[in-house]
């Protein structure tokens, strides 16, 4: 299988690329930090044999159209097509909407929504040359049920989900599958690289998944063609509550958000994805 994995320099993307290569896929990885991608390649070579796939790195900023074009060009030149595009790269932001700048919203939307959408657009001809082609989008539970103090991130992940649902039906006619997996809080560098966010802001969670586990479940979703999968029990409960008891969910989230014991140094608290 020929796979593109975005955001492979840490967390879920790193593990996805590693596990895909170990199961024999050829993987093109991208992210801004070249040294991390080199480290990923080195790790994939430990214990490698003839069944291990190769990882190739193309570092760059995914919000730059020229970098997205370079990714597609490389795949045309080297592979002639791709079988799977994994849109994983992303970033969050925490803090009240009222205090935030327009710039924060734009930056979050650029990396979490416009970049994967436009990369998918230019990769479509490559996918049409693929075998059982699929687009796998890494969403979030917060793309199913929004929480306070993450308005930009929730908006971006809701947008990604709406777009995925729409093109899933369009691309079915072209035999390209569109899948989405939605993790809950995952132990990664996500909370170290929040966009325009006070570093003192604390976040809390009901349970934390490992990136290895999230990657395993995402690959399972790909193999089994699961169209829209929420990965944790806590995430499923939140989404279920929000769907059937929206007012109660609002009430709980309001109380939780106001609870002094949960507040960080800035006086704000938050619920992790």
Q: Which residues bind ligand NAP (CB under 6 A)?
A: 7-13, 31-33, 36, 61-63, 88-91, 111, 138, 140, 183, 185-186, 188-190, 193, 211, 272-273
What is the smallest separation between the CB atom of 203 and ligand NAP, expressed in angstroms?
9
What's the first-to-final CA gap in the chain, in angstroms? 30
Nearer to ligand NAP, 8 or 136 (CB): 8
Q: Residue 138's beta-bridge partner residues?
A: 181
Nearer to ligand NAP, 128 or 202 (CB): 202
Nearer to ligand NAP, 90 or 95 (CB): 90
Catalytic residue among 14, 79, 113, 153: 153
What is the smallest separation between the CB atom of 264 and ligand NAP, expressed in angstroms?
17
CA distances from 255 to 148, 239, 248 (A): 11, 18, 11
What is the smallest separation between the CB atom of 38 and ligand NAP, expressed in angstroms?
12
In 3D, which of 227, 233, 218, 225 has the Cα closest to residue 7?
218
Which residue of the chain is nearest ligand NAP when measured via CB? 11
In 3D, which of 119, 55, 112, 65 has the Cα closest to residue 89?
112
Catalytic annotation on 14? no
CB contact burial 228-252 (16+ within 10 A = b; e otherwise): bbbbbebbbebbeebeeeeeebeee
| Distance between CA atoms of residues 79 and 267, nearest Å | 52
What is the smallest separation between the CB atom of 86 and ligand NAP, expressed in angstroms?
10
- Positions annotated as catalytic residues are 153
């Amino acid at each position: 299988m020929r796979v593109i994995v975005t955001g492979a320099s840490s967390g879920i993307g790193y593990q996805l690329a590693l596990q895909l290569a170990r199961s024999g896929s050829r993987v093109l990885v991208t992210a801004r930090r070249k040294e991390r991608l080199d480290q990923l390649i080195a790790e994939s070579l430990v214990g490698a044999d003839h069944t291990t796939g190769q990882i190739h790195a193309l570092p760059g900023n995914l919000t730059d159209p020229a970098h997205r074009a370079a990714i597609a060009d490389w795949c045309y030149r080297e592979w002639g097509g791709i079988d799977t595009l994994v849109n994983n790269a992303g970033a969050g932001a925490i803090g009240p909407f009222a205090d935030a700048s327009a710039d924060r919203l734009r930056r979050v939307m650029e990396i979490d929504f416009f970049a994967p959408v436009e990369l998918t657009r230019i990769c479509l001809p490559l996918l049409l040359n693929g075998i059982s082609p699929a687009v796998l989008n890494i969403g979030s539970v917060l793309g199913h049920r929004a929480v306070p103090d993450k308005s930009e991130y929730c908006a971006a992940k809701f947008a990604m989900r709406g777009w995925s649902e729409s093109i899933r039906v369009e691309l079915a006619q072209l035999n390209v599958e569109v899948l989405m997996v939605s993790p809950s809080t995952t132990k990664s560098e996500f909370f170290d690289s929040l966009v325009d966010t006070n570093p003192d802001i604390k976040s809390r969670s009901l349970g934390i998944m490992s990136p290895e586990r999230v990657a395993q479940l995402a690959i399972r979703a790909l193999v089994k063609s699961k169209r829209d999968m929420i990965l944790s029990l806590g995430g499923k409960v939140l989404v279920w509550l929000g769907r059937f008891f929206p007012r109660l969910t609002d009430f709980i989230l309001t109380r939780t958000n106001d609870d002094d014991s949960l507040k960080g140094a800035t006086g704000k608290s938050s619920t992790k994805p």
